[in-house]
Structure 1
Amino acid sequence: MVNYSLFKEDSIKGRYVTLAQLQNHFFSKIRSEAIYIGKSVKGENIPAFQFGHGKFKVLMWSQMHGNESTTTKAVCDMIHFLQSEDVLAKHILSKCSITVVPILNPDGAEVYTRINHNEVDLNRDAKDRTQPESQALRKLFKKIHPQYCFNLHDQRTLFSAGNTQKPATVSFLSPSSNVERDITPTREAAMKLIVAMNYDLQELIPGQVGRYDDGFNENCTGDSFQTTGTPTILFEAGHYAEDYEREKTREYIFHALIKGLQTIADNQVNEFSTNDYFKIPENRKLFFDVVVWHANKVNPKFKEGVKVGIRFKEVLIDDKIEFIPEIAEKGTLEGYFGHKLIECIDSKDFGFSSKDKKVLELLQNFDV
């Protein structure tokens, strides 16, 4: 497995990643010339970069949702690797032609929102393509005629890998291409490639890979591209313990990207089994960011014995993402888990981190 520490792009970090940051700190390091595939609603040029000269064409795009930046960081790491003297990198580039769109939704990235400047979710605009960003991606897709597409996203911290107390740190989906969810040859190829990536990830994060529900939605980009006969894979970067900046998760996405490209380059996709795809547990929404027991110890307005489930809202403040706690649920919370558990005896149990202090303040100020 590749030594990730050699290729992490340290100039890009944290949750707030914008096109301006990439332009100022990273694009000058790319030896491939930018290809501008279109403009955003606000007129930002959307760049793509091409690597390699092989027969297998791969198209990948990140930050279709502006507030989903982990895969963008991993893409920067991947580019760093592909431009290195590593033997595997040279092999991949000899067999693959890779086109990368680091940020498809620069307007959304700038203000840290899922939607674009017209308040449209680009991942629900694949059929009508009302937005310039959607049109730019489809035009690029038609120009390249890729054999594989990687659709790169982030997922919320609430997802577990199946009905377990393990977070879905990475999730995948081979989208359906019809309402019946038939396993077409296209879907099958995407499933097998996911299995290849999952094998490597299980060595790094055993039990922390999930699979998304495959209900068909013709408005979703992955489903739409899958329908054209192009194997398309949804990547979802999720939570790793105490990694709210998602610097560890970016590493696992990096390894998945490299394994996926290596499997394509080696023409080994068909050596894997779709049966193993369905062994990957489906995502469940079983996590809170914090679960507090005995909250009545810091505020008597909570009933004795009640557990409080708290989830963080991500808010952009002064070019930094702040995690603001909100009470999501109160009760027995049976069957649910917390990324952090606080068994409250008194206020000292909350620790001294900024997140802990905000949680304590939230509970103390709670009113029925």
Structure 2
Amino acid sequence: MKKNRFQDLLKDEWYEAIKLAEISGRYINNDNLKKHLDHFSSEIDIKVIGNSVAGEPIRLFKIGSGKKKILMWSQMHGNESTTTKAVLDLCNAFIKEIDHEIFQEILSKCSLFIIPILNPDGARAYTRVNANQVDLNRDMQKLSQPESSILKDTYNEILPDFCLNLHDQRTIFSAGARRNPATLSFLTPSKDPKRSIDESRKISMGLIAGIATDLREDLPGMIGRYDDAFNINCAGDTFQSLSTPTLLFEAGHFPGDYQREKTRKYVFKALISALYRISSFTEKDISDDFEDYFSIPENKKLFKDIIIREAQVEGEIVDVAIHYSEKLVKGKIEFEPILEKKASFISGFGHREIMANKEELKIPGLSAPLENVVVNKIILKNEELVFKEG
């Protein structure tokens, strides 16, 4: 196989120099995008391809002039913004490093079509669904929503050779049955209920296997794979069923990184890895690696945000699990800690684990810890613990 220069290109210091630092955090919408349109338009063709339910513009970025056409879209779910940050970093990298040999190779052999925010109404409200409360990723057959139709129409107009479907996943996922968060997860969707593996799926499997290889040192044991149960209503399954190699990206949790700024970097690297392989390797070279895809551990739901072990509650020794609920408050996302469960033992892992050593646990204002209540702070061992994330 052709020598892969990917690791020589992407050093952390280089990424920090091209990162679009003005865009950060979890709340990303069209306002963030609009501020940078003039900057992007110097090298990128930008056009409005339609409007959302509430009338917000949906934009398509085009960069490159090559024969291989790649369609990618982000924020199909409005509260999944990490990949949007990463594709904007990608655009900035192509502008700032336009003369780099690898970027020149990508842009001479590929044409990139990027929808940075497919669901601008959901992005503004920070919801998974659009303004009509419809999950766009379950609407690709009915096409009942303008945003779904825009994506399908764009696909039909471009007839891409590859699709990159970009999402975020919850903090609950582990990469396999280990104490490793799934910081990145991938899936090559099925094309039919039998989950047939034809040449187009082999290509997308090989691309994902290559990404996992390229990021192995950055994320040891922290890359997962989703189950490929078929659902024709989903975008990835729809396009895979049309024999277009399709990759689902899922940005997940990196320890301590609730704003997903570190995860953003790894999504960026994964995008560069995929684009470099598409532009530089033959389809046979890529598909030859397809079996390595199955060595990526399948995601498990093994994580809680916080677990307090062996706490005394009303005379019982129990474990207490807390998860963060994301809320939009005055233009920022706040992480509200919710007491999700208490039980004699809670299996799995906590991103943060606290050993109570059978000391009494109290929540100020409550006589006893109840489930599904907000717990901004607790008293344990006569010390106040604050759980709110900024």
Scaled by the length of structure 2, what TM-score is found? 0.87
Which amino acid is 1:77 matched to?
D
1:7 to 6, 18, 26: 18
- Among 286, 291, 302, the residue aligned to 2:307: 291
TM-superposed CA distance for 1:357, in Å, is 7.6
User: What RMSD over aligned residues (CA atoms) do the two structures have, in Å?
Assistant: 2.2
Deviation at 1:91, TM superposition (A): 1.4
Give the number of equivalent residue pairs. Answer: 354
CA positional deviation for 1:332:
4.2
Which residue does the alignment assign to 1:27? 37
Q: Tell me whether 1:38 sits opposite 2:50 in the alignment.
A: yes
**1:361 deviation in Å?**
7.3
8 Å CA contact 2:75, 2:118 repeated in 1: yes
Percent identity of paired positions between Structure 1 and Structure 2: 47
Matched, 1:133 2:151: no
In structure 2, C-alpha distance between the alignment counterparts of 1:105 and 1:334, rounded to whole Å: 37
Paired residue type of 2:127: T
**Is the Cα–Cα contact under 8 Å of residues 337 and 375 in structure 2 kept in the other structure?**
no
The aligned runs of 1:112-261 (5 Å cut-off) are 112-261=126-275
Residues 192 and 270 in structure 1, CA contact (< 8 A), matched pair in contact too: no
Q: Which residue of 2 aligns with 1:55?
A: 67
Q: Can you list the C-alpha shifts for 1:153-181, whole angstroms capped at 9, x where unaligned?
A: 00000000010000000000000011111
Question: Is the 1:192–1:269 Cα contact (8 Å) retained in structure 2?
Answer: no
Alignment of 1:338-353 (within 5 A): 338-344=350-356
Runs of 4+ in 1 over 6 A off after TM superposition: 361-364
Aligned-partner Cα distance in 2 for 1:361–1:156: 28
Secondary structure at 1:292 match in 2 = strand
Aligned counterpart, 2:294: 278
TM-score (norm 1): 0.92
Q: Which residue of 2 aligns with 1:353?
A: none
User: 2:120 matched to 1:109?
Assistant: no
Q: Distance in 2 between matches of 1:166 and 1:53?
A: 40
Looking at structure 2, the residues matched to 294 and 12 of structure 1 have their Cα atoms a distance apart, in angstroms, of 41
SS at match of 1:360: strand
Q: Distance in 2 between matches of 1:106 and 1:281?
A: 33
Task: Quote the offset at 1:286 in angstroms.
Answer: 0.3
Aligned to 1:308: 320
In structure 2, the CA distance between the partners of 1:174 and 1:359, relative to structure 1 (3 Å rule), is farther
Q: 5+ residue gaps in structure 1?
A: 351-355
- SS of equivalent to 2:323: strand
Shift, 1:101, TM fit: 0.4
CA distance in 2, matches of 1:347, 1:57: 60
CA contact (8 A) 1:309 1:333 kept: no
CA contact (8 A) 1:34 1:49 kept: yes
TM-superposition CA deviations, 1:285-330 (whole Å, max 9, x none): 000000012332xxx43x5331111111101111111111112222
Corresponding residue for residue 4 of structure 2: none
CA distance in 2, matches of 1:280, 1:332: 33
State the Cα deviation string for residues 36-56 of structure 1 (Å, max 9, x = none).
Answer: 111100111100110000111
Give yes or no for contact 1:193–1:269 (8 Å, CA) kept in 2.
Answer: no
Inter-partner Cα distance in structure 1 for 2:45 and 2:360: 55
Counterparts of 1:177 and 1:40, CA distance in 2: 28
Alignment-derived partner of residue 16 in structure 1: 27
Distance 1:238 1:27 in 2: 28
Higher strand share: 2
Residue matched to 2:378: 360
> For residues 357 and 222 of structure 1, do their structure 2 counterparts lie closer, same or farther at Cα, with a shift above 3 Å needed?
same
Letter aligned with residue 211 of structure 1: R
Aligned partners of 2:209, 2:244: CA distance in 1, in Å?
A: 17
CA contact (8 A) 1:347 1:360 kept: no
